[in-house]
Amino acid sequence: MAGYNDFPLSIYNSYSREKEVFTPIHEGHVGLYVCGPTVYNFVHLGNVRTFMTFDVLYRYLSHLGYKVRYVRNITDVGHLVDDVDEGEDKIAKKARLDNLEPMEVVQMYTNDFHDTLRLFNFISPSIEPSATGHIIEQIQMVQQILDHGFAYEVNGSVYFDVLKYQEAKGNYGKLSGRVLEDLINNTRELDGQEEKRNGLDFAIWKNADERHIMKWPSPWGVGFPGWHLECSVMSTKYLGKQFDIHGGGMDLKFPHHECEIAQSVAADGEVPVRYWMHSNMLTVNGQKMSKSLGNSFTPAELITGNHPLLKKGYSPMTVRFFRMQSHYSSTLDFSNDALEASEKGYKRLMNALRALQQLSHSKGNLNTELEAEIENNLNQAFLNLSDDLNTAKCIANLFDLATRINSFSAKKLATGAISEKLFARLQKDYSAIIVDILGIQAEESGSSSVVDQLMQLVIEIRQEARQNKDFATSDKIRDALGAAGIQLKDGADGTGYTLN
């Protein structure tokens, strides 16, 4: 197995804006924190991409031999509508609209979150703390920030004093690249701003009126914690005042992560995170994914194909494979062509893996050129993963190896053309990279790959009937499939289907 000294990891650090060699605070140990979901709705594809990035990072760090403590939180209070300091809690609003208790909403969408991640073969984090489970610790951090002079209390609410912090520490805006003067000039006038000394100040504890459902007693009155505060508390509680890696979506860089840094420095006197990593957003056919544009779809719609923009459904492993063909820091564009190409690529890798597992080493004439090629591809796959988690380039190495594996399988090349030692490494590492690190596994029997083959046969029979002007048979096939919950989609590029 590759070790962390064999293939030292480099990470693009959003804080320094440079790619840096990763050096953990404690040799052989890694503290990793990732901002989890606010559980008031079904998990969306942008969430899944972010969490997949750090699932692969967790897997790779573990494979390299690090002992990893991976903390990913659940936000179940304090995240207000529009991500501001005034208004209704997102979970409380959903509870009011659906006539449920807030914790029913939390449980429902936490279950959905876990079910979705299991579908895509995610490993569970080491610890999954919730904001409501850490109210006492959040009150304590608010008090620390007050005691150090970086916050002030008004009418039962406590606000972080950004200008005073900047004057003392000078690093507010460093992560996001924002200039404080520009932020002040561009701050919107919102309800409740009159309580603040400056519009850029943010709540670390909010007073709750009688209409607010989720609230707790504190030294400043009955209220609830600020959204930014939660992650500062839970990350440092489980990983220490300074830890190795903090991850999240690029949309969280400002203000959420910027505020996390300020709070932790104000409370503990230390910059909390050594390396910040941010994943990029999803687009659809070159456009930003948005409900208003009608191009937003759920993981379930992607798998069933039950969406106007999809020709058909795609299996969970096809989707997982697709997501890793772009670097996590780049935008990832969904299209039918890209997904269909990923489906073929996924099958090609898995076919090569199955063939390799069935092969055994045999005697033959050693081919030193072939040996060097295979060894180089194996090493390069790990080097690409260690180069800021470049899964796209790693997959290219796997495809090159698949070509050689298929030659062995088809007996165009004897396995004896490489040494027994290298053959054993090829079997071990090829499987480890695909299954253990990238998290790609074979689809279960009866999966969509089998359904695809059956449906392709039915579509071809129907197409022949239409060409023969046997419209009665063509319509019978379409109607029978419709009754079974399968909708055919005829288009310029052929016929696809969706499962309803």
DSSP state of 444: P
Would you list the DSSP string of 180-220? HHHHHHHPPP-TTGGGSSSTT-EEEEEE--TT-SS-B--TT
How do strand 223-225 and strand 67-72 relate by DSSP bridges?
A: unpaired
The answer, yes or no, to whether residue 292 has pLDDT greater than 70, is no
Burial 293-330 (b: 16+ CB within 10 A, else e): eebbbbbebbbbbbbebbbbbbbbbbbbbbbbebbbbe
Question: pLDDT confidence of 187, banded at 50, 70, 90?
Answer: low
Return the pLDDT at 453.
57
Coil, strand or helix at 297: coil
pLDDT tens, position by position, 434-474: 999 999 999 865 445 556 655 766 776 787 677 767 788 78
pLDDT tens, position by position, 227-266: 999 999 999 999 999 999 999 999 999 999 999 999 999 9
DSSP state of 293: T
- Widest CA span in the chain: 84
Burial of 351 (0-12, 13-18, 19+ CB in 10 A): middle
If you search the block for the tokens 């995170």, which residue do you land on?
A: 273
Region 287-301: what's the mean pLDDT?
76
Q: Are 70 and 58 in contact (CB under 8 A)?
A: yes
Return the pLDDT at 460.
66
Closest CA to 457 of 500, 499, 484, 497: 497
**What average pLDDT does the chain have?**
90
Closest CA to 141 of 119, 167, 160, 163: 160
By residue count, the chain amounts to 500
Closest CA to 85 of 198, 182, 7: 198
Return the pLDDT at 26.
97
Return the pLDDT at 51.
97
Distance between CA 421 and CA 3 in Å, rounded?
Answer: 18
Q: What percent of the chain has pLDDT over 90?
A: 72
Q: Are 32 and 57 in contact (CB under 8 A)?
A: yes
| Token digits of residue 496 | 């696809």
How do strand 273-279 and strand 243-249 relate by DSSP bridges?
A: parallel
Coil, strand or helix at 76: coil
Coil, strand or helix at 241: coil
Return the pLDDT at 164.
97
DSSP state of 431: H
- For 95, 108, 217, the CA distances from 212, given in Å and listed in that order, are 12, 21, 13
Distance between CA 21 and CA 7 in Å, rounded?
Answer: 11
The answer, yes or no, to whether residue 205 has pLDDT greater than 60, is yes
Coil, strand or helix at 411: coil
Question: pLDDT confidence of 389, banded at 50, 70, 90?
Answer: very high
Q: Give 287-290's long-range contacts (Cβ < 8 A, gap of 24+).
A: 289/45, 289/46, 289/334
Return the pLDDT at 385.
98
Q: Which residues contact 95 (CB under 8 A, 6 or more apart)?
A: 101, 102, 104, 105, 213
Closest CA to 497 of 224, 245, 267, 307: 307
